[in-house]
Structures are given as C-alpha cells and as structure tokens.
Chain A
Amino acid sequence: MLKRVHFGPSLLPFLLVAPQIAITIVFFIWPASQALYQSLLVEDAFGLKTEFVWFQNYSELFDDELYFDTVYRTAFFSSMVAFLSMSSALLLAGMADRVIKGAKVYRTFLIWPYAVAPVVAGALWMFMFDPTLGIVAYFLHAMGSNWNFRVNGDEAMALVIFAAAWKQISYNFLFFLAGMQAIPKSLIEAAAIDGAGPGRRFWTIIFPLLSPTTFFLLVMNIVYAFFDTFGIIHAVTKGGPAKATEILVYKVYNDGFIGLDLGGSAAQSVVLMTIVIVLTVIQFRYIENKVKY
C-alpha cells in the first residue's frame, strides 16, 4: 500500500481538477443522465406531449427482432474490423521493425491515415468504389464483377469494413511497432541460435510477448468499430442498402433523428453506454492484472 500524502486544507487542488470535472459533467454526466431520463419517456413526433412510461422502451427494444439483427451485424462488423486492421497492422509493424534504411519515411507514411477524419476516409472509399464513377469499381467491372454496393448489402458491408479497418491500421501499427521495439533483441537472437526461423520466431517469441499490446488494441478496436465508425458509415452507405450496414450506433441516430423515436433511441444509447462501460472495466482489470509474463 502506498502511504497517503496529507495536504492541508487548501483550495488549490480543487481548482486544479475543476476544469476536468467541468468537462466531464458537461460532456458526459449531463448528457448521459439526459439519455437515461429520456429512455424512460415516450414522446410524439412533434414534441407536443411526453409520457413517462418506465421501462417500456427497453422491453420493446428487447422484443424487437430487428434490434437483435443489428446487434449481430455490429458484432460481425466490429470483429471483422478489429481482425483486419490488427492483422494488417501486425504484418506491417513486423516488416517495419526489420527495415533499417528509410525506416522513418516508411513509418511516417504508415501513420498518415490516422490523421484522416472518419467522414473524409468514408468519402474517399465511397468515391473509389462508386459503381458509376469509382476507379476501383471500374477495374472490378472490367474483371467481370457486378460490383454495386448501393444495391448489394454484402458488398456494402465489405466496403465499410475495409474503410473502417484501413483507417484504424495506423493506430494499431504504432502500438505494435512500439511493442516490438520493446522486445530485447537478444531474445530474438537467442531464438535464432536455437534454430527458429523468422516465422517461428514471430509466433513463438514476438507474438506472445506482444500479448498485452494485442489485448489493449483488441478492446480499443472494438470500441472504435462500435462508435467511431459512424462517420464512415454515414458517408458511404447511410446504413443501407436496406439496413445492411446499420450498426448499433447508426441505428441510434437513425431511429432518434430520422425516425424521431427519441425514447427508443435513448434506450439504445443507454445499452451502448453499458457496453462501453463493460469494455472499459474489462480493459482496466485485465490489463492491470492478467496480461503479464
């Protein structure tokens, strides 16, 4: 146990934490409590009357098969995004770790996509794959494919997955590269002398030693895919076609701001908030306690 440090009664510590507290209250506590409160209300589309209905919004939500479709879709979407972006980042980091000449240039280029805003990234991919004017779509058509993500739900899903994964590669790359560089070189050399080739060294030495980083990134990527991909989906597909790319966070927006079912949308956002809280708790507990070697 650390010994507690005692400060005399003073205003200073309170002043120092005040800005952070204020930000948390204004941008998290207050909207979160509003959402909680709103999730217990039913409001008509014109906002003329509001009725307090206890948990009716939730029971309707959990009875709704469409909602569970969205849950499964979100699970598929986020696991694909996490898997794709983490595996490509791992591959790139593995190669960047071996590069000696021009390593800095290589790394800088790999980090760039992270600086692109999600909506811009979405717009970029949308243009490239646009069935009528996209350059990639042009090649796909030339190869005989019938590519049109505006009518084919699976293709739309694939496109948003790729766009979302691409954008997250840089972030994962940075962490993986840092993790790899923290592994003592002599371990790799010892494995080389023990007879392990590059592939074997990677899977038996480097990958296990990266496990804390990998776990951290897994949680971060799921959180990213759940929430931060809104911009990409909004720019590329708007959740369509026929809700094929509507993930939970997009449904909150769609039901609340387009469908004007404010109570139901609030209930959904409370569910999402619970998911984030659970993920965060897992992250902290697991990272602090379990992932050690």
Chain B
Amino acid sequence: MAEILLADVYKSYGKTEVIHGVDWHIEDSEFVVIVGPSGCGKSTLLRMIAGLETITNGEISIGGRVVNDLEPAQRDIAMVFQNYALYPHMSVYNNMAYGLKIKGVPKAEIDQRVREAADRLEIGEYLGRSPRQLSGGQRQRVAMGRAIVRKPSVFLFDEPLSNLDAKLRVQMRLEIKKLQERLGITSVYVTHDQVEAMTLGHRLMILNDGYVEQLGTPIEIYENPLTKFVAGFIGSPSMNFIETRLEEDATTVKFSHKTSFRLAGSYPQFKGRNVSIGIRPEHFFFAPDNPEAIPFRAEVVEHLGADTLLHGTVDEGESELIVRFNGISTVTQGETVPVYIDPANIHIFDAQNGKRLEVE
C-alpha cells in the first residue's frame, strides 16, 4: 500500500527532452492510467517509476520514500510487461516463485503464495508447464501472477493487453479491474487505448509529446476536455471539429456560410477569434421539429447494431461530420436529416493553442 508522488519530473536523452515536467499525486489504492498516442513518453514515465530509466530532474517517491536513487528491486514494485517477459527456461511455478526465492521467503510460504495466486488467476493446472506451452491469455495471467505473489506496494502495467486478441482483451481488462479492486494495491497502467483507459482508471493522465494535457477522472475528461487534443483523443468515434470564427456577438459560430449555431454561453473576450468547435458524434440528435436544426446529408451509413454511424456533410460538403444515432437508424445513404445539438454539449477551443475557452 503506498501513494506515489511525481514532483516536477523531467527526462532527457542527451539534449532531447522527452518528459517536460510531470506533477502528480497518486493516492493509495488508486488505479491510474497514463494514456496517450505512441511516442508520447508514457512508457518512459512508467519505467522511471519502476527504476528502469533514470530521472533527469525532479523527484519520484513511493510510499513517502524518495526512490530516485533506488534500484528497481528496492522500490517494492511489480511490473507486467507488454510481451509478458516470462522466463522461458523456467516453469510457470518457478516464474512466479523467482522473486520470492530471491527475497529469501521460506519454501513453504512460497509454495502457499504461488498456489494461492495461481488459483485466483485460474492457472493452477499450468504450474508445471513452461511458458511456451501456454496461449497468449494464459501467459498474460502468469505475468500477472508473478506480479501479485510478491505482494508489492505498487503495480505497474506497461500496455499489458496489447498483444491479445480483441475478445480476450475485454475479458482481461475486466479481470485486471476486479483484481485491483480486491487487492487494493496502487496501480499505474499505461496504454494507448482510450477505451482501456476510460474503463480501468479511477483517474487518467493524458500525455502528449511529453506534456501532461489533462488529469482527471474519465467522466471529467470526457465531459470537460481542457484541450482540443484531449477532446479528439478521448471518445470513439472521435469528436467532430469545425474550424470557424466566433462572431462579433460573442455567442454564435458559423457552421458554414448559411448555417450558424448559438452557443450556450457568451465569450466576449474571444469575439472575432478563430476557434474550433467540438461536438461528439453521440450528442447529435434527430430534431425534425426544431427550427434551428442543421440539415445533415448522410453520405455513408454504418450499422453497428447497437448504434448507427452516419458520415456526412453540412451544406454541400462545407463541414464534414460523423453523427451517431442509437439503435438501428432508418436514415439511408444520400438522405438529408435535420439534426440538433444541445448547446451545453458543444466544446469550444482556441484555434491557435488548442485550449478550451471558458465562459466569462
């Protein structure tokens, strides 16, 4: 059990700075997810917590102890790697017992702990096998087992599910979540998959190019993205953006030369500024009776069963949009439908720096 504190953490390789100052307080028993596109530095940050990468500047502490100069072994952590990193020449049992043997735990206790972890992960019958005799999902469980037998104070996960097929990934995701809840061990999970991030994390860190874009709970981030990057990264299909200008009345934006839209608030300090309007596909709804509805022409219709995705345009292709309707929609290709958005669901970002505009 431990809290993790990142204080102004920097990482450079030579002259190239890859992590530009991260501050984060991860509470005890919290499950946090670091998410971002590939190459954003998320794995580097995790490896810095693990002690596999040095910390160029700043301080990392685990359980109140500054770990900057501690070896990975001394940090009381366990890590699950993307490729599982099981020792190929050892049986599953020995893979799980390795860390305990090094710690000098008595044999009987090792045996009891390994069997307990194996039962919990339902790999009890594979203890005598070698890793190459196991399927991807089973290897994944062994890797988790190896982490939990040691009863560390922190779990680190480095994209542990990305080598699994889609179905197994969903299943393991749920298991990881349940396991973490039951054990209550502080966990840091790295992924590029926003669905994993949203479903697993109590709190998320959105990392882009080594900069922290936003910290917050999944719902906070979904409802209130602070930057255009976060808005586009979280949510699937991703948010629609329309590049336009805030009119002089500080409250209307133009969708196209003939369609404009009123925002929920007024932004007098930004009037006349170029802005990006962000609308999530799921926030459009069919509004035949609304005089302010936007005429949306569906060009491609994708039926996913649970919902329908419509790819189309407003006003002869001036702005392209994706609209998502619940259930099986009857809209056909080429049809123009009136759609509307609750102004409260419209996000507005500065076109220059991508920051969210706040109502004054």
Point out the residues of chain B lying under 8 angstroms from A45, CB to CB: none
Interface of chain A residues 178 through 225 with chain B (CB within 8 A) = 184, 186-187, 189-197, 200, 204-205, 208-209, 211
Return chain B residues, CB-CB under 8 Å to A189. 50, 52, 72, 79, 81, 85
Residue A14 is within 8 A (CB to CB) of chain B in the complex: no
Q: Which residues of A contact B83 (CB under 8 A)?
A: 184, 186
Q: Does the CB pair B88–A193 fall under 8 Å?
A: no
Among B85, B89, B99, B146, point to the contact of A293 (Cβ < 8 A): B89
Across the interface, do B73 and A193 meet the contact criterion of CB distance under 8 Å?
Answer: yes
A193→B102 contact, CB < 8 A: no
Q: Which of B50, B85, B103, B130 has the most CB of A within 10 A?
A: B85
Cβ of B339 within 8 Å of any chain A Cβ, yes or no, is no
Expressed in whole angstroms, the Cα–Cα distance for A232 and B132 within the complex equals 45
Asked if A190 and B85 make an inter-chain contact with CB atoms under 8 angstroms apart, the answer reads: yes
Contact of B79 among A190, A196, A200 (CB under 8 A): A190
The count of A-to-B residue pairs whose CB atoms sit within 8 angstroms is 61
Contacts A189-B52, A293-B130 given; indicate if A196 touches B85 (C-beta within 8 A): no
The CA of A193 and the CA of B87, in the complex, are separated in Å by: 13
Of the residues A187, A194, A209, A211, contact of B99 by C-beta under 8 Å: A194
Q: Which of A184, A197, A200, A209 contacts B85 (CB 8 A)?
A: A184
Q: Is the CB of B88 within 8 A of A197?
A: no
Q: With A186-B81, A196-B73 known to touch, is A191 a contact of B98 (CB < 8 Å)?
A: yes
Give Cα distance in the complex from A191 to B101, angstroms: 12
Given A208-B89, A209-B88, A209-B89, answer yes or no on A192-B81 (Cβ-Cβ < 8 Å): no
Q: How far is the CB of B215 from chain A (nearest CB, A)?
A: 26
B78 on the A face (CB < 8 A): yes
B342 in the interface (beta carbon within 8 A): no
Give Cα distance in the complex from A192 to B70, angstroms: 12
Closest partner residue, chain A, to B152 (CB atom): A193
The reply on B114 being an interface residue by CB < 8 A is no
Q: What are 26 inter-chain pairs, A to B, with CB distance below 8 A?
A: A186-B85, A187-B87, A189-B50, A189-B52, A189-B72, A190-B79, A190-B146, A192-B51, A192-B71, A192-B72, A193-B50, A193-B52, A193-B78, A193-B79, A193-B99, A194-B99, A194-B102, A194-B146, A194-B150, A195-B73, A195-B102, A195-B103, A209-B89, A211-B89, A293-B89, A293-B132
Which residues of A does B touch, CB under 8 Å?
Answer: 184, 186-187, 189-197, 200, 204-205, 208-209, 211, 293
Known A192-B72, A209-B89; further 5 A-B contacts with Cβ < 8 A:
A186-B83, A193-B52, A193-B72, A196-B102, A205-B87
The 8 closest A-B pairs by CB, nearest first: A194-B99, A195-B73, A186-B85, A293-B89, A190-B85, A195-B102, A208-B89, A193-B72
